[in-house]
Amino acid sequence: MGGFRFEFSPVAVLRSNLLTASEGDDVGHRWAAMWFLRRVVRAPAHGAPVRPVLVSGSRTRIREFERADVDRWLSWPRHNDLLFEGYNPPQLSTRQRDLYHRQRALAPDTRQYAVDDLDGQLVGRISLREANWEVGFAVLGVSFHPSRLNQGFGSDALTAFLTYYFGTLTMQALYLDVAAFNRRAHRVYEKVGFRACGQRWGDPEADLLGIFRRADHLELRQYFRAEQGLVRPLVIDMVLRREDWSVRH
Ligand SMILES: CC(C)(COP(=O)(O)OP(=O)(O)OC[C@H]1O[C@@H](n2cnc3c(N)ncnc32)[C@H](O)[C@@H]1OP(=O)(O)O)[C@@H](O)C(=O)NCCC(=O)NCCS
Protein backbone atom coordinates (compact mmCIF):
# COMPACT_ATOMS: atom_id res chain seq x y z
CA MET A 1 0.00 0.00 0.00
CA GLY A 2 1.02 3.62 -0.43
CA GLY A 3 2.78 5.66 2.17
CA PHE A 4 -0.35 7.31 3.65
CA ARG A 5 -0.81 6.66 7.37
CA PHE A 6 -3.44 8.32 9.54
CA GLU A 7 -2.68 8.64 13.22
CA PHE A 8 -5.02 10.34 15.63
CA SER A 9 -3.20 11.90 18.53
CA PRO A 10 -4.98 14.29 20.92
CA VAL A 11 -1.59 15.78 21.72
CA ALA A 12 -0.92 16.43 18.03
CA VAL A 13 -4.33 18.10 17.73
CA LEU A 14 -3.65 20.29 20.76
CA ARG A 15 -0.19 21.11 19.52
CA SER A 16 -1.59 22.15 16.14
CA ASN A 17 -4.32 24.27 17.87
CA LEU A 18 -1.56 25.94 19.77
CA LEU A 19 0.58 26.62 16.74
CA THR A 20 -2.25 27.84 14.54
CA ALA A 21 -4.04 29.98 17.14
CA SER A 22 -4.01 33.59 15.99
CA GLU A 23 -4.66 36.92 17.71
CA GLY A 24 -8.44 36.67 17.73
CA ASP A 25 -8.68 33.06 18.87
CA ASP A 26 -10.13 31.99 22.18
CA VAL A 27 -7.40 32.64 24.71
CA GLY A 28 -8.85 30.11 27.15
CA HIS A 29 -8.68 27.41 24.48
CA ARG A 30 -5.10 28.23 23.71
CA TRP A 31 -4.18 28.37 27.38
CA ALA A 32 -5.80 24.95 27.96
CA ALA A 33 -3.77 23.46 25.12
CA MET A 34 -0.54 24.89 26.54
CA TRP A 35 -1.40 23.65 30.02
CA PHE A 36 -2.15 20.15 28.75
CA LEU A 37 1.09 19.96 26.81
CA ARG A 38 3.11 21.22 29.75
CA ARG A 39 1.60 18.90 32.37
CA VAL A 40 0.87 15.70 30.53
CA VAL A 41 3.00 15.19 27.45
CA ARG A 42 5.26 12.33 28.21
CA ALA A 43 8.96 12.70 28.77
CA PRO A 44 11.17 10.00 27.26
CA ALA A 45 11.13 6.88 29.45
CA HIS A 46 14.91 6.93 29.76
CA GLY A 47 17.62 9.51 29.88
CA ALA A 48 18.02 12.79 31.70
CA PRO A 49 14.97 14.58 33.12
CA VAL A 50 13.45 17.14 30.77
CA ARG A 51 11.85 19.40 33.35
CA PRO A 52 13.82 22.45 34.47
CA VAL A 53 15.07 22.80 38.04
CA LEU A 54 12.60 24.87 40.10
CA VAL A 55 14.74 25.37 43.17
CA SER A 56 18.02 24.00 44.52
CA GLY A 57 19.31 23.20 47.98
CA SER A 58 22.97 22.70 48.79
CA ARG A 59 22.66 18.94 48.14
CA THR A 60 19.45 18.58 46.11
CA ARG A 61 17.58 19.93 43.10
CA ILE A 62 13.81 20.01 42.77
CA ARG A 63 11.83 19.84 39.53
CA GLU A 64 8.37 18.73 38.41
CA PHE A 65 7.80 14.98 38.60
CA GLU A 66 7.68 13.57 35.06
CA ARG A 67 6.53 10.24 33.60
CA ALA A 68 10.04 8.73 33.63
CA ASP A 69 10.24 9.45 37.38
CA VAL A 70 7.49 6.88 37.96
CA ASP A 71 9.90 4.23 36.58
CA ARG A 72 12.82 5.64 38.58
CA TRP A 73 10.70 5.66 41.75
CA LEU A 74 9.40 2.10 41.22
CA SER A 75 12.98 0.82 40.94
CA TRP A 76 13.81 1.94 44.48
CA PRO A 77 14.51 -0.90 46.95
CA ARG A 78 11.90 -1.62 49.60
CA HIS A 79 12.06 -0.35 53.18
CA ASN A 80 13.46 -3.02 55.54
CA ASP A 81 11.53 -1.67 58.51
CA LEU A 82 7.98 -3.05 58.38
CA LEU A 83 6.67 0.13 59.98
CA PHE A 84 7.46 1.84 56.67
CA GLU A 85 5.73 -0.75 54.48
CA GLY A 86 3.15 1.87 53.49
CA TYR A 87 5.86 4.04 51.92
CA ASN A 88 6.99 1.34 49.47
CA PRO A 89 5.99 2.04 45.88
CA PRO A 90 3.21 -0.17 44.49
CA GLN A 91 3.78 -2.67 41.69
CA LEU A 92 2.41 -1.16 38.48
CA SER A 93 2.28 -2.26 34.86
CA THR A 94 3.39 0.18 32.16
CA ARG A 95 -0.21 1.17 31.53
CA GLN A 96 -0.83 1.74 35.23
CA ARG A 97 2.33 3.85 35.43
CA ASP A 98 1.07 6.00 32.55
CA LEU A 99 -2.26 6.34 34.31
CA TYR A 100 -0.65 7.08 37.68
CA HIS A 101 1.29 9.95 36.17
CA ARG A 102 -1.51 11.27 33.97
CA GLN A 103 -4.09 11.33 36.78
CA ARG A 104 -1.83 13.32 39.06
CA ALA A 105 -0.61 15.64 36.34
CA LEU A 106 -4.21 16.46 35.40
CA ALA A 107 -5.61 16.82 38.93
CA PRO A 108 -5.98 20.57 39.56
CA ASP A 109 -5.37 20.25 43.32
CA THR A 110 -2.27 18.01 43.15
CA ARG A 111 1.36 18.59 42.21
CA GLN A 112 4.30 16.24 42.37
CA TYR A 113 7.97 17.10 42.47
CA ALA A 114 11.13 15.05 41.98
CA VAL A 115 14.19 15.55 44.16
CA ASP A 116 17.56 14.76 42.55
CA ASP A 117 20.93 14.67 44.24
CA LEU A 118 23.75 16.65 42.64
CA ASP A 119 24.62 13.62 40.45
CA GLY A 120 21.11 13.69 39.01
CA GLN A 121 19.85 10.57 40.81
CA LEU A 122 16.23 10.60 41.98
CA VAL A 123 16.48 10.55 45.79
CA GLY A 124 13.07 11.77 46.82
CA ARG A 125 9.53 12.76 46.02
CA ILE A 126 7.60 15.72 47.34
CA SER A 127 3.90 16.15 46.68
CA LEU A 128 1.17 18.68 47.30
CA ARG A 129 -2.43 17.52 47.56
CA GLU A 130 -5.80 19.11 48.42
CA ALA A 131 -4.28 22.37 47.22
CA ASN A 132 -6.40 25.51 47.18
CA TRP A 133 -4.40 27.91 45.00
CA GLU A 134 -6.74 30.87 45.61
CA VAL A 135 -6.62 30.70 49.39
CA GLY A 136 -3.01 29.49 49.32
CA PHE A 137 -2.75 26.23 51.21
CA ALA A 138 -1.97 22.58 50.47
CA VAL A 139 -1.06 19.34 52.22
CA LEU A 140 2.51 18.09 51.94
CA GLY A 141 3.67 14.52 51.28
CA VAL A 142 7.32 13.40 51.34
CA SER A 143 9.05 10.12 50.60
CA PHE A 144 12.76 9.52 50.08
CA HIS A 145 14.82 6.65 48.63
CA PRO A 146 15.11 3.94 51.34
CA SER A 147 18.91 3.70 50.89
CA ARG A 148 19.37 7.47 51.13
CA LEU A 149 17.61 8.15 54.44
CA ASN A 150 19.26 9.93 57.36
CA GLN A 151 21.89 11.52 55.12
CA GLY A 152 20.52 15.04 55.18
CA PHE A 153 18.71 14.95 51.81
CA GLY A 154 15.22 15.31 53.27
CA SER A 155 16.08 18.36 55.39
CA ASP A 156 17.97 20.00 52.53
CA ALA A 157 15.21 19.38 49.96
CA LEU A 158 12.38 20.51 52.25
CA THR A 159 14.20 23.72 53.16
CA ALA A 160 14.61 24.48 49.45
CA PHE A 161 11.05 23.45 48.64
CA LEU A 162 9.63 25.83 51.26
CA THR A 163 11.43 28.71 49.56
CA TYR A 164 9.72 27.72 46.32
CA TYR A 165 6.32 27.19 48.01
CA PHE A 166 6.17 30.46 49.95
CA GLY A 167 8.40 32.49 47.62
CA THR A 168 7.64 31.49 44.02
CA LEU A 169 4.14 30.06 44.55
CA THR A 170 3.30 32.76 47.17
CA MET A 171 1.28 30.29 49.25
CA GLN A 172 0.02 31.10 52.75
CA ALA A 173 0.25 27.86 54.73
CA LEU A 174 1.42 24.28 54.32
CA TYR A 175 -0.16 21.41 56.28
CA LEU A 176 0.94 17.81 56.78
CA ASP A 177 0.17 14.81 58.94
CA VAL A 178 2.76 12.42 60.27
CA ALA A 179 2.46 9.15 62.16
CA ALA A 180 3.71 9.74 65.71
CA PHE A 181 5.96 6.66 65.52
CA ASN A 182 7.83 8.29 62.62
CA ARG A 183 10.25 10.18 64.88
CA ARG A 184 12.69 10.93 62.06
CA ALA A 185 10.07 12.61 59.87
CA HIS A 186 8.69 14.51 62.88
CA ARG A 187 12.20 15.74 63.71
CA VAL A 188 12.80 16.94 60.13
CA TYR A 189 9.45 18.76 59.96
CA GLU A 190 10.12 20.55 63.25
CA LYS A 191 13.63 21.40 62.10
CA VAL A 192 12.35 23.18 58.98
CA GLY A 193 9.69 25.08 60.95
CA PHE A 194 6.46 23.03 61.15
CA ARG A 195 4.58 23.04 64.46
CA ALA A 196 1.99 20.54 65.74
CA CYS A 197 -1.57 21.86 65.51
CA GLY A 198 -3.48 18.76 66.62
CA GLN A 199 -3.43 15.01 66.95
CA ARG A 200 -5.89 12.19 66.32
CA TRP A 201 -6.17 8.44 65.87
CA GLY A 202 -5.75 7.40 62.23
CA ASP A 203 -7.70 4.79 60.29
CA PRO A 204 -7.84 1.26 61.79
CA GLU A 205 -5.48 -1.24 60.19
CA ALA A 206 -4.40 -4.85 60.76
CA ASP A 207 -1.72 -5.24 63.42
CA LEU A 208 0.72 -6.91 61.02
CA LEU A 209 3.67 -6.00 63.22
CA GLY A 210 2.13 -7.48 66.34
CA ILE A 211 2.49 -4.20 68.23
CA PHE A 212 0.12 -5.37 70.95
CA ARG A 213 1.30 -8.99 70.84
CA ARG A 214 5.09 -8.87 70.75
CA ALA A 215 7.00 -7.91 73.89
CA ASP A 216 9.75 -6.23 71.84
CA HIS A 217 7.20 -3.67 70.56
CA LEU A 218 6.36 -2.38 74.05
CA GLU A 219 8.01 0.96 73.23
CA LEU A 220 5.86 1.40 70.10
CA ARG A 221 2.52 0.97 71.90
CA GLN A 222 2.38 4.63 72.95
CA TYR A 223 1.92 5.50 69.25
CA PHE A 224 -0.99 3.12 68.60
CA ARG A 225 -4.42 2.29 70.01
CA ALA A 226 -5.82 -1.25 69.93
CA GLU A 227 -9.42 -1.38 68.72
CA GLN A 228 -11.47 -4.49 67.96
CA GLY A 229 -8.45 -6.54 66.87
CA LEU A 230 -7.08 -3.70 64.75
CA VAL A 231 -4.69 -0.85 65.52
CA ARG A 232 -5.06 2.88 64.94
CA PRO A 233 -1.85 4.93 64.64
CA LEU A 234 -1.54 8.22 66.48
CA VAL A 235 -1.31 10.94 63.84
CA ILE A 236 0.10 14.42 64.43
CA ASP A 237 -1.18 17.31 62.31
CA MET A 238 1.38 20.03 61.63
CA VAL A 239 1.35 23.41 59.93
CA LEU A 240 3.85 25.98 58.73
CA ARG A 241 2.35 29.42 58.07
CA ARG A 242 3.83 31.98 55.76
CA GLU A 243 4.46 34.49 58.56
CA ASP A 244 6.33 31.88 60.64
CA TRP A 245 8.40 30.83 57.62
CA SER A 246 9.17 34.49 56.78
CA VAL A 247 10.67 35.32 60.19
CA ARG A 248 13.15 32.48 59.71
CA HIS A 249 14.24 33.70 56.24
C1 LIG B 1 11.14 11.55 56.54
C2 LIG B 1 12.23 11.79 55.53
C3 LIG B 1 11.66 12.59 54.38
C4 LIG B 1 13.38 12.57 56.18
O5 LIG B 1 14.41 12.71 55.25
P6 LIG B 1 15.92 12.22 55.62
O7 LIG B 1 16.78 12.59 54.50
O8 LIG B 1 15.89 10.78 55.99
O9 LIG B 1 16.22 13.09 56.93
P10 LIG B 1 17.55 13.91 57.28
O11 LIG B 1 18.73 13.04 57.15
O12 LIG B 1 17.55 15.21 56.55
O13 LIG B 1 17.28 14.27 58.81
C14 LIG B 1 16.94 13.25 59.74
C15 LIG B 1 16.85 13.89 61.12
O16 LIG B 1 16.10 13.02 61.97
C17 LIG B 1 16.90 12.60 63.04
N18 LIG B 1 16.51 11.25 63.36
C19 LIG B 1 16.78 10.11 62.67
N20 LIG B 1 16.19 9.06 63.29
C21 LIG B 1 15.54 9.56 64.37
C22 LIG B 1 14.75 8.97 65.40
N23 LIG B 1 14.50 7.66 65.44
N24 LIG B 1 14.24 9.79 66.36
C25 LIG B 1 14.47 11.12 66.34
N26 LIG B 1 15.22 11.74 65.39
C27 LIG B 1 15.74 10.95 64.41
C28 LIG B 1 18.32 12.74 62.54
O29 LIG B 1 19.25 12.83 63.61
C30 LIG B 1 18.22 14.04 61.75
O31 LIG B 1 18.13 15.15 62.61
P32 LIG B 1 19.41 16.14 62.83
O33 LIG B 1 19.72 16.70 61.47
O34 LIG B 1 18.93 17.14 63.79
O35 LIG B 1 20.51 15.26 63.35
C36 LIG B 1 12.79 10.41 55.02
O37 LIG B 1 13.42 9.76 56.09
C38 LIG B 1 11.74 9.50 54.43
O39 LIG B 1 11.35 9.67 53.30
N40 LIG B 1 11.33 8.46 55.16
C41 LIG B 1 10.44 7.43 54.66
C42 LIG B 1 9.06 7.96 54.31
C43 LIG B 1 8.53 8.88 55.37
O44 LIG B 1 8.70 8.65 56.55
N45 LIG B 1 7.85 9.94 54.91
C46 LIG B 1 7.28 10.93 55.77
C47 LIG B 1 5.84 10.68 55.89
S48 LIG B 1 5.02 11.87 56.90
Q: Which of 125, 150, 240 has most ligand 1 atoms within 8 Å of its beta carbon, as the pocket-test mutant?
A: 150
Say which amino acid occupies 174: L
Distances in Å between the Cα of 123 and the Cα atoms of 120, 142, 187 are 9, 11, 19
Name the closest-CA residue to atom 24, ligand 1.
183
Q: Is any atom of ligand 1 closer than 6 Å to the C-beta of 150?
A: yes
Atom of ligand 1 nearest to the CA of 144: 39
Neighbours of 100 (CB within 10 A): 18
Q: H/E element holding 137?
A: strand 137-144
Q: Does the domain spanning 45-171 belong to CATH 3.40.630.30?
A: yes
Q: Is any atom of ligand 1 closer than 6 Å to the C-beta of 185?
A: yes
CA-CA distance, 240 to 103, in Å (whole number)? 28
Name the closest-CA residue to atom 48, ligand 1.
178
CA-CA distance, 57 to 117, in Å (whole number)? 9
Eight-state DSSP code of residue 28: H
Which residue, 60, 57, 42, 47, is CA-closest to 114? 60
Atom of ligand 1 nearest to the CA of 182: 44
Which residue, 162, 88, 178, 78, is CA-closest to 126? 162
Residue 77 has pLDDT above 60, yes or no: yes
Name the closest-CA residue to atom 10, ligand 1.
152
Q: Give residue-wise pLDDT tens across range 92-122.
A: 999 999 999 999 999 999 999 999 999 999 9
Task: Determine the distance separating the centroid of ligand 1 and the alpha carbon of 149, expressed in angstroms.
Answer: 7
Task: Determine the distance separating the centroid of ligand 1 and the alpha carbon of 154, expressed in angstroms.
Answer: 7
Atom of ligand 1 nearest to the CA of 149: 8
Domain assignments of the chain as residue spans, ordered by start: 8-41, 45-171, 175-182+189-249
Atom of ligand 1 nearest to the CA of 150: 11
Q: Which residues contact residue 105 at a Cβ distance below 8 angstroms, ignoring those fewer than 6 apart?
A: 39, 40, 112
- What pLDDT, on a 0 to 100 scale, did the predictor assign at position 139? 98
> Which phi and psi angles does 103 have, rounded to 5°?
-60, -45
Which residue, 101, 110, 126, is CA-closest to 45? 101
Regarding predicted confidence, which is higher, 51 or 245?
A: 245
**What share of the chain has pLDDT > 70, as a percent?**
82
Q: Give residue-wise pLDDT tens across range 12-61.
A: 333 333 333 344 445 555 555 555 545 554 444 457 787 899 999 999 99
Say which amino acid occupies 142: V
CA-CA distance, 134 to 3, in Å (whole number)? 51
- Based on its alpha-carbon atoms, the radius of gyration of the chain, rounded to whole angstroms, reads 21
Eight-state DSSP code of residue 104: H
Q: Is 24 helix (H, G, I), strand (E, B) or coil?
A: coil
- What pLDDT, on a 0 to 100 scale, did the predictor assign at position 220? 95
